[in-house]
Amino acid sequence: MTDITMPPPVDELAPEPPPSGPVVWARENLFSSWGNALQTFFFLFISWQILSWLLGKLVAEERNWDAVLTNSRTFFTFNYPLEQFARMWFSLGALIVAVGITLIAFGFEPRVRTSKIVQSTIGLGAAVAVIGVLTPVSGSWRLGLIAVGVAIGVVAWLAGRALPDGQTLPFWSLLVGFAVFVMVLVWIVPWGQNEFLDGEYIDEPGTVNITTKQPWTVMMGLLLGSFFGARALARVVPRRILQLAMIVWWVMGPAFLLFLVLRDPAFDWGYVLAVDIPIALAFGLGGGALLYWLTEPVRGEIARIVGALLLGTAALTWILAFFGVVSMLQKIRLSILFLALFALAAATFAGERSVRLRYAGIWMGFVALTHWLITGINTPSTLDIAAPPFIGGFALTLTIAYYVMLASFPIGALMALARTSTLPIFRILSTTYIEVVRGIPLITVLFFFSIMVPLFLPGEMELSELAAIFIGYTLFSGAYMAENIRGGLQSIRKGQFEAADALGLTTAQRTAFIVLPQALRVSIPNLVGQAIATFKETSLIAIVGGFDLLRVGNQTVASQPAFLGQSLTALFFVSFVYWVFAYSMSRASRSLEEKLGVGSR
Amino acid sequence: MSKVIDAGMSDELAAREDMIVCRGVKKWFGDFQALRGVDLTVKDREVMVVLGPSGSGKSTLIRCINRLEVHQEGDIIVDGVELSNDVRNIDKIRSEVGMVFQQFNLFPHLTVLDNVTLAPIWVRKRPKAEAEATAMQLLERVGIPEQAAKFPGQLSGGQQQRVAIARSLAMEPKIMLFDEPTSALDPEMISEVLDVMKGLAQSGMTMVCVTHEMGFAREVADRIVFMESGDVVEIGTPEHFFTNPTEDRTKLFLSQIL
Ligand SMILES: Nc1ncnc2c1ncn2[C@@H]1O[C@H](COP(=O)(O)OP(=O)(O)O)[C@@H](O)[C@H]1O
Ligand SMILES: [Mg+2]
């Protein structure tokens, strides 16, 4: 090669970016033509009317916001006994610590652009000012609100100009900011002290009770402590282990907390030790050993034969029980059924020692989980809770939503796979199930399960009302879950199936390692949408007897003598709570999608 | 079924054992007949290149060999095992026949290393450490060991196709099928894939390649097969094909492509 050196190409200057800013934006989007401007004014006018009407309702004479302040505990936990409330705080604390560690374990520490914070703050100021203009309040209030809004906006704007471009804040500063905000709310803002003391309504000025201040301070300490603690931990413990631990916790932990919330120390540990734990141990260890043996590659057909035998046994236990011949705890029957399914799949997942140990380990975890869930949800509370024998309020809403989503997921995945299977019998069964369930309103399903099913059950089978609701709702939700996952399954290209087949993977292996992981990733947006819907529709359990958040607001609070007729006030608050949670879920899903790169592959 | 012109093969090749035997293989898609009775024998360690215009049934033929498509009439015998509906035979053949696709078909949610080790671990039941060591050797052989931890989406087309070859080789197949492995690649990446295939041919792998790379066919192939409309028209050595093809249809096709 000769040594000809070319001069490096010189970059031309990039053209100036076109001017931008709110004025330009408005000119291009809102007032680009006469017609456009007319539309803009029309919709501004309509929004103006609606907003001022709504704000008027919020501050109207007859609104008594003390109804919400006084009942904050009722909204979230209904009539959970006050002297046992430490358990609720413990549970909340455990959840908060888990959130902190999970954020670290999954590397969720996005840096936040200061420009974005400045923008949001300016938006907040503008909103306050607009509220000041629109709300029908006295002149001094109005002026005050406008002044505060403008002040917030101007300060944020000035701060934004002073800050250098492209600056970011670490995620922890947002957490600290949040904690400080909560502390201001409980220690400084003069909400007034309202409560029912021995049936008497007390209303005094000042900040909230010390029994609210202390726990919230501890909670915020836990949030920050767990976040920074987990950060230190992540330097010593490998991330994969932290992630695994947190997944196990999120699947198993809430059941433990529910247990803790509903069982008092006098709980019948004798029964648990004599019956529940031995059964779980027998299935966990015995089944684990069996599966370890069955997954040795030389076993081959034997695993299928054992699985088929177990399946027959499981079917027999139900048939016999139906005729009242053999009585047996429901969870034993279920465990035999599950063990049969695991045995049937054993040949597919056979492999070396570590693979087999993991398979047996997954089984044991599964046994632990199902036995937790069955025991946790199917035994009535031993706490002395009045009337409905369970927790209520938002705690009930959250519990039902969480369990339904957890349990309907495997049902949905199986149904979706069955519906796309090449075996007609699976296809017909799952299609029938899905289409039947999707054609029935949820409320009908709930009625059916809470009232009819207990009547049909043979004598010695018992089902608590909550368990019945839970099962009905799960089966309902599973059908929708199946359709969402099916959408994901259909998006997988044919080449993926062919490549897996060409490598000699069996159908089950192809499904477990290639098809499902990709399909679930694609389905995330839909699954989150469904999770939000499930969360909101839990309000229907009020109709079959549950005291969820909505019913507490609509009925309990509105019938207190001090707040007669305040149901609209309570409903405003209830809507707000639902909105905060649903909106956070959808935001979280969006960042999850970005992280997994959905749609950008 | 028209008459096949078979220009023969070298005595040395003829003396080897049969690896793939197709006898009167017919295949229909609905009413459309894609294969009209294909007779073909691939010898042990032979490299066979399949040529033919688009739609002539080349893909269908090699996809029948590992049963991605099911033929309706005739016999296909792979390494002494007859392809029938017996699931065990299919599994055995699939784990002995590797296939490389035009569109790579890597698993996008798995890293390169996991793509390569998945089948050895779950189908061959290899210990993970052993499978990974083998996979790294294979990635070295195809020239991209440094990409092991990346995801397929982060690689160029040529790199992806080389991973796909390594993924098939990890099952230690006796036969490799290639269905237009370079057709989806940018021109500058074709040679890196062809080089890997040449190396593989030299190592004595039995290969059936559908490809339009005439240089590869001339240099590497033991025999070339020309297909049209579901029929094998002409079979012969590269010299035969490039010096004195017999059939008019073969001549026409070669004149268009060369
Ligand atoms: N799955 C299928 N369904 C219907 N027709 C098909 C299918 N696959 C291939 N064909 C048809 O069979 C013929 C042969 O196809 P193919 O083997 O892919 O040809 P080649 O690979 O030689 O281009 C084509 O006419 C094609 O349209
Ligand atoms: Mg083709």
**Smallest Cα–Cα separation from A104: which of A279, A294, A305, A241?**
A241
pTM for the whole structure: 0.81
pLDDT tens digits along A549-584: 888 888 888 888 878 888 888 899 999 999 999 998
How many pairs of residues across A and B have Cβ atoms under 8 Å apart?
A: 72
Question: Quick one: pLDDT at residue B173?
Answer: 95
Question: Quick one: pLDDT at residue A160?
Answer: 87
Amino acid present at A211: T
Q: Do B107 and A496 touch (CB under 8 A)?
A: yes
Is ligand 1 within 6 A of the CB of residue B29?
A: yes
pLDDT score of B57 more than 60 = yes
pLDDT score of B243 more than 80 = yes
Expressed in angstroms and rounded, the spacing between residue B100 Cα and the centre of ligand 2 is 12
pLDDT score of A597 more than 60 = yes
pLDDT tens digits along B69-87: 999 999 999 998 888 877 7
Expressed in angstroms and rounded, the spacing between residue B37 Cα and the centre of ligand 1 is 15
Q: A423 and A274 in one domain?
A: no
pLDDT tens digits along B115-145: 999 999 999 989 999 999 999 999 999 999 9
The domain in which residue A451 lies consists of 61-80+389-601
Q: Which atom of ligand 1 is nearest to the CA of B210?
A: 21
Question: Quick one: pLDDT at residue B177?
Answer: 96
pLDDT score of A514 more than 60 = yes
Q: What is the mean pLDDT of residues B89-103?
A: 91
Expressed in angstroms and rounded, the spacing between residue B56 Cα and the centre of ligand 1 is 8
pLDDT tens digits along A219-267: 999 999 999 999 999 898 888 889 988 988 888 788 778 777 776 555 5
Q: A475 and A569 in one domain?
A: yes
pLDDT score of B66 more than 80 = yes
pLDDT tens digits along B141-197: 999 999 999 999 999 999 999 999 999 999 999 999 999 999 999 999 999 999 999
pLDDT score of A441 more than 90 = yes
Radius of gyration of chain A (CA): 29
Mean per-residue pLDDT over chain A, rounded: 85
CA angle A559, A565, A566 (to 5 degrees): 95
pLDDT score of A600 more than 50 = no
Question: Quick one: pLDDT at residue A381?
Answer: 59
Q: Is residue A194 part of a domain?
A: no
Q: How many CA atoms lie within 13 A of A511 on its CB side?
A: 16
**What ligand has the least distance to the C-alpha of B58?**
1
Residue in B closest to A349 by C-alpha: B122
**Smallest Cα–Cα separation from B257: which of B229, B216, B199?**
B216
Band of residue A599 on the pLDDT scale cut at 50, 70, 90: very low
Question: Quick one: pLDDT at residue A31?
Answer: 81
Q: Which of B26, B31, B36, B59 to mutate to test the pocket of ligand 1 (most atoms within 8 A of CB)?
A: B59
* Domain CATH for A462: 1.10.3720.10
Tokens matching residue B224: 């070339």
Residues measured by CB to lie within 5 Å of ligand 2, the ion: B 59
Helical spans, DSSP H, in A323-392: 330-346, 353-378
Band of residue A601 on the pLDDT scale cut at 50, 70, 90: very low
**What ligand has the least distance to the C-alpha of B231?**
1
Task: Please say which residue of A380, A405, A421 terminates a domain.
Answer: A380
pLDDT tens digits along A363-373: 998 898 888 77
pLDDT tens digits along A4-15: 667 778 788 888
Instruction: Find tokens 């609720």 and name the residue.
Output: A88
Q: Whose CA is nearest to atom 20 of ligand 1?
A: B55
Q: How many CA atoms lie within 13 A of B253 on its CB side?
A: 23
Q: A543 and A473 in one domain?
A: yes
Q: Whose CA is nearest to atom 25 of ligand 1?
A: B55
Q: A529 and A577 in one domain?
A: yes
Q: What is the mean pLDDT of residues A141-168?
A: 89
Q: Which atom of ligand 1 is nearest to the CA of B52?
A: 22
Expressed in angstroms and rounded, the spacing between residue B115 Cα and the centre of ligand 2 is 24
Band of residue A386 on the pLDDT scale cut at 50, 70, 90: low
Give the Cα separation of A214 and A191 in Å (integer): 16
B138, burial (CB in 10 Å: exposed 0-12, middle 13-18, buried 19+) = buried
Instruction: Find tokens 């300016």 and name the residue.
Output: A122
| CB contact at 8 A, B177 and B94 | no
Q: Is residue A489 part of a domain?
A: yes
Q: Do B118 and A350 touch (CB under 8 A)?
A: no
Residues of chain B positioned with their CB less than 8 A from the CB of A518: 107-109
| CB contact at 8 A, B165 and B196 | yes
How many Å lie between the alpha carbon of A514 and the closest alpha carbon of chain B?
7
Residues of chain B positioned with their CB less than 8 A from the CB of A601: 108, 153
Q: A403 and A303 in one domain?
A: no
Band of residue B256 on the pLDDT scale cut at 50, 70, 90: confident
Q: A433 and A345 in one domain?
A: no
Expressed in angstroms and rounded, the spacing between residue B166 Cα and the centre of ligand 2 is 22
Band of residue A61 on the pLDDT scale cut at 50, 70, 90: confident
Q: A468 and A366 in one domain?
A: no
Is ligand 1 within 6 A of the CB of residue B57?
A: yes
Q: Is residue A522 part of a domain?
A: yes
Q: Is residue A126 part of a domain?
A: no
Q: A407 and A352 in one domain?
A: no
| CB contact at 8 A, B230 and B201 | no
Tokens matching residue A308: 């088929």
Q: How many CA atoms lie within 13 A of A276 on its CB side?
A: 17
Question: Quick one: pLDDT at residue A26?
Answer: 80
Give the Cα separation of A464 and A389 in Å (integer): 10
Is ligand 1 within 6 A of the CB of residue B60?
A: yes
Q: Is residue A554 part of a domain?
A: yes
Choose from B96, B97, B105 for mutation: most chain A CBs within 10 A: B105
Question: Quick one: pLDDT at residue A267?
Answer: 55
Is ligand 1 within 6 A of the CB of residue B55?
A: yes
How many Å lie between the alpha carbon of B178 and the closest alpha carbon of chain A?
12
Task: Please say which residue of A338, A355, A380 terminates a domain.
Answer: A380
**What ligand has the least distance to the C-alpha of B55?**
1
How far is residue A217 from each of residues A178, A222, A374, B64, measured CA to CA in Å? 12, 9, 35, 70
Task: Please say which residue of A380, A402, A420 terminates a domain.
Answer: A380
Q: A416 and A324 in one domain?
A: no
pLDDT score of A589 more than 90 = no
Q: Do B105 and A514 touch (CB under 8 A)?
A: no
Q: Is residue A452 part of a domain?
A: yes
Q: Is residue A303 part of a domain?
A: yes
pLDDT tens digits along A89-110: 888 999 999 999 998 998 878 7
| CB contact at 8 A, A355 and B127 | no
pLDDT score of A294 more than 80 = yes
pLDDT tens digits along A28-48: 888 888 888 899 899 999 998
Q: What is the mean pLDDT of residues A525-541?
A: 90
Question: Quick one: pLDDT at residue B78?
Answer: 93
Task: Pick B122's closest partner by Cβ from A499, A502, A505.
Answer: A505
Give the Cα separation of A354 and A366 in Å (integer): 18
Q: Which atom of ligand 1 is nearest to the CA of B57?
A: 17
Q: A403 and A359 in one domain?
A: no
- The total domain count for chain A is 2
Q: A344 and A400 in one domain?
A: no
Give the Cα separation of A394 and A92 in Å (integer): 13
Q: A424 and A368 in one domain?
A: no
pLDDT tens digits along A67-89: 888 888 888 888 788 777 888 88
Question: Quick one: pLDDT at residue A10?
Answer: 79
Q: Is residue A550 part of a domain?
A: yes
pLDDT tens digits along A179-189: 999 999 888 88
**Residues of chain A above pLDDT 90, percent:** 34
